Structure 1
Amino acid sequence: MASNLETLVTVFGGSGFLGRAVVRALCKRDYRIRVAVRRPELAGHLQPLGKVGQIHAVQANLRYPASVEAAMRDADVAINLVGILAPSGAQTFDAVQAEGAGTVAKAAAAAGARMVHISAIGADANSPSHYARSKAAGEQAVLSAVPSATIMRPSVVFGPEDEFTNRFAALARMSPALPLIGGGTTKMQPVYVGDVATAVADAVDGKAKAGATYELGGPEVLSMREIMEAIQEITDRDRMLVSLPFGLAKLQALFLQFAPGPFKLTPDQVELLRSDNVVSEAAKSAGLTLEGLGIVPDSLEGVAPQYLWRFRKAGQFTHMSV
């Protein structure tokens, strides 16, 4: 049996939050990794994750098929992690998450490579959210080019560099009150970035079912209110939680979509919060989950204190009663 060192994996979007976790997981399993990113000169932070020469960064942009084909040359597996939370210039939801995913899949098919594609729970062609519709279109494009592709749909992903827990912790540091859009009743199943990366590496190992769609969620289903309360407890902050109806939140988002950092909120993100983001019963019964892959997921309360301490008033030296 060929060793993993003979297997070349091209990771599109490998320098981002999920990307570095996936690259780390693949390095530990001795794969050779080609990281395809728009700015390879900014991907140097990945080098310490592997052995000398194990990781090679190349330039690729999903909007330019020739660059994607070049990044796939001689590769055995393609992993597509590219996704955006809000459109910016030419980087639209359709260009990146729908057509871009199809471009990677076509290049993988031409190279005779296997494929793992990261989508999202809530991907739905009929969703009122443009993000969710483009994710569904991306899945369709991938499967039509590579029917054997494994699709992974995580719930909201958390970890040290996330734009989720860090965002609310930063807001709690700056603002006397935090908004609960739609009353904070939307349910999520926060999943640890390391667990998603392990699932992707398992799929590269061949442990996941070909052509199947996995739904990845953490061990707990929490409402947005419960998540905000947990983050406040971890960061030792006590902020007022103010219920904000969806209509009003969408109106505010028209202005906040241009806001900087943690204050940014788009109308499309408000639309996404109208639906729960949890693993379906169908995925559970089919074993298409983290547990189905033999992964015991880590909880938000178990992992988040390891990196959110920096938002406490005295950082890691804040005396915690827990």
Structure 2
Amino acid sequence: MTTGTALPSSQLVTIFGGSGFLGRHVVRALARRGYRIRVAVRRPDLVGHLQPLGVVGQITAVQANVRFRDSVTRAAAGSDVVINLVGILQETGRQNFSPVQHQGAQAIAEAAVAQGARLIHVSAIGADKASPSLYARTKALGEEAVLTAVPDAVIFRPSIVFGQEDGFFNRFAALARAFPVLPLVGAETKFQPVFVGDVAEAIARAVDGTVRGGVYELGGPEVRTLRQLVDEVQAITGRNRPVIALPFGIARLQAAVIETLDKLTFGLLPDLIVITRDQVKLLALDNVVSGAAKAEGRTLEGIGIIPTAHQAILPGYLWRFRKSGQFDEVRV
């Protein structure tokens, strides 16, 4: 294993889940630094969009599925640094929370140990073994498995991550465009949206070796309720849909019906309207950086990154949801 002081071009960084929303930004940040990058994904034939982020031969793709330990071991071979970005927001088919976020994280951590590689693991704010949400429980179990195998691993827990391809702000903008009323689960739940570029930079600094091992909580400069965030989305997109706070009891019933219909239609329901009971449980919990993390410097600011405000970024990609697109003048 090489040290963090070695030249980037002499180090191989393997990124599990590197083709997703956060992954492409991490690949870009590392490619600019000169690292050799191996992207480990289930479908290597679908990651051609990553090649232009680096020079010829700098970025390669290999097949790996975290549910199959042998493929994880092969993908990690020869790595100096291993990054785990794999995670799911809902269970579909064989992609279930425990095999992906718990056993999968364990397999990646043990593969890193076998290679003598440093490990960076991305979890989520709210990871808690006592959480009512299976998503949050398996995130916590994944963290526990990582730290058992690699005690000096760097773990990042971001709040809601936003950026051009995000599934959060884009979703609410699309809902406001499609429906006359917005029923909102967890309207008063607090979030601290963090820019995807800031999260990628934090991961890149951990690869550089300038971030010591530990658990870091990453949030943006502003804390907002879900209702406030939806109102901001509507202001940017020129919509004015009434927002109705949906009681959690009704939301759980609605989610149960939607889950059943989604299974009966073999997943053909539009992703825009699909919500699960587990997601309803998550929406009952605030998703913000803890006071302990702030006090101990385990934040973006603590590692020298000034968080980007969501107000500065959202208009740059939500304009497409305006009635006349980029030609629609909206005063934010």
TM-score with structure 2 setting the length: 0.95
List alignment gaps of at least 5 residues for structure 1. Answer: none
- Which residue identity is paired with 1:276? D
Query: What is the CA-CA distance between 1:166 and the residue it aligns to?
Result: 0.6
User: 1:1-322 maps to which residues of 2 (within 5 A)?
Assistant: 2-182=6-186, 184-210=187-213, 212-257=214-259, 258=262, 259-322=269-332
Distance 1:114 1:122 in 2: 25
- Which residue identity is paired with 1:320? V
Kept in 1, the 8 Å contact 2:236–2:331? The answer is: no
Query: What is the CA-CA distance between 1:321 and the residue it aligns to?
Result: 2.6
- Which residue identity is paired with 1:220? E
Deviations 1:143-170, CA, capped at 9 Å, x for gaps: 1111111000000111111110011111
Name the count of aligned residue pairs.
320
Query: What is the CA-CA distance between 1:231 and the residue it aligns to?
Result: 0.5
Distance 1:255 1:195 in 2: 37
SS in 2 for 1:133: helix
SS in 2 for 1:152: strand
Distance 1:287 1:255 in 2: 43
Query: What is the CA-CA distance between 1:299 and the residue it aligns to?
Result: 1.1
- Which residue identity is paired with 2:284? R
Distance 2:331 2:199 in 1: 31
Kept in 1, the 8 Å contact 2:183–2:246? The answer is: yes
Instruction: Flag as ranges the 4+ runs of structure 1 deviating above 4 A.
Output: none
- Which residue identity is paired with 1:86? Q
Query: What is the CA-CA distance between 1:319 and the residue it aligns to?
Result: 1.1
Distance 1:250 1:291 in 2: 37
Query: What is the CA-CA distance between 1:119 and the residue it aligns to?
Result: 0.2
Distance 1:131 1:316 in 2: 37
Query: What is the CA-CA distance between 1:290 and the residue it aligns to?
Result: 0.3
SS in 1 for 2:211: coil
- Which residue identity is paired with 1:280? S
- Which residue identity is paired with 2:204? A
Deviations 1:43-99, CA, capped at 9 Å, x for gaps: 000001111111000000001111111111110000000000001111100000010
Q: Aligned residues: percent identity? A: 60
Distance 1:98 1:249 in 2: 27
The residue that corresponds to 2:265 in the other structure is none
Query: What is the CA-CA distance between 1:320 and the residue it aligns to?
Result: 2.1
TM-score with structure 1 setting the length: 0.98
List alignment gaps of at least 5 residues for structure 2. Answer: 263-268
SS in 1 for 2:294: helix
Deviations 1:106-152, CA, capped at 9 Å, x for gaps: 00000000000000000000000000000000000111111111000
Query: What is the CA-CA distance between 1:180 and the residue it aligns to?
Result: 1.9
SS in 1 for 2:94: coil
My pick for the range that moved more, 90-99 or 257-266, is 257-266
Deviations 1:234-265, CA, capped at 9 Å, x for gaps: 11111010110011001101122323221110
